[in-house]
Amino acid sequence: MSNEKTLRLFYELKPGVTLPGDWFSGKIPTNIEVGENTVLDSSFCFKHYFSALPVGFRAGSNCTFWRTSLAAEENALIEIGDHTYIANASLVCSEKISIGSHVLIAGGVTVADSDFHPIMPAARIADTIALSPVGNRSRRPFVSTKPIVIEDDVWIGCNATILKGVRVGAGAIIAPGALVIEDVPPAAEVAGNPARIINR
């Protein structure tokens, strides 16, 4: 009989628990709601989760989060439907990201609902000063955010990026490496930088 530890690939996702055998010494947040049979590979998924809302993360049933970063700022909400699989992707949320059911998100994908810094040069300099070790974070300039909606049955290929304010319609396909800055109609396929419809 071997004394080697059995490697657990996935753990059931439940609020407030510490995962036995997890390589990362974190704890699952308590302000989440999760359906049945939803799993993740490590509490590291929540390393950058700072939502202070009563519910900052909501996932349906039969979802899988593998090497996924669920990064949420203080007033952020991430919502995900049933039977969605997210692999080695990054959800970076300042306000709200909504992902439907039966969505597949591949490795290297980034979904971000904010620029996380000002766009204009003078404001960027002021922001850099406010964020410096001797700065005052309460004096940060305004940073724009717009919710993202990804509807049901969407497939997002490796290394694609979806930016603030975008709605991806049901059944759409986002090609690998696409930079999505505008809404994608239902059942459309988009590719390129910036992403354009290549098939409908």
Q: Which residues are catalytic?
A: 117
Contact at 8 Å (CB) between 90 and 68? yes
Beta strand 104-105 with 161-162 is unpaired
Query: Closest Cα partner for 23 from 88, 67, 75?
Result: 67
Query: Closest Cα partner for 53 from 14, 95, 113, 92?
Result: 95
Which value, in Å, is the radius of gyration of the alpha carbons in the chain? 18
Helix runs in 67-131, H state only: 121-131
Looking at residue 96, its amino acid is K
CB atoms within 10 A of CB 191: 19
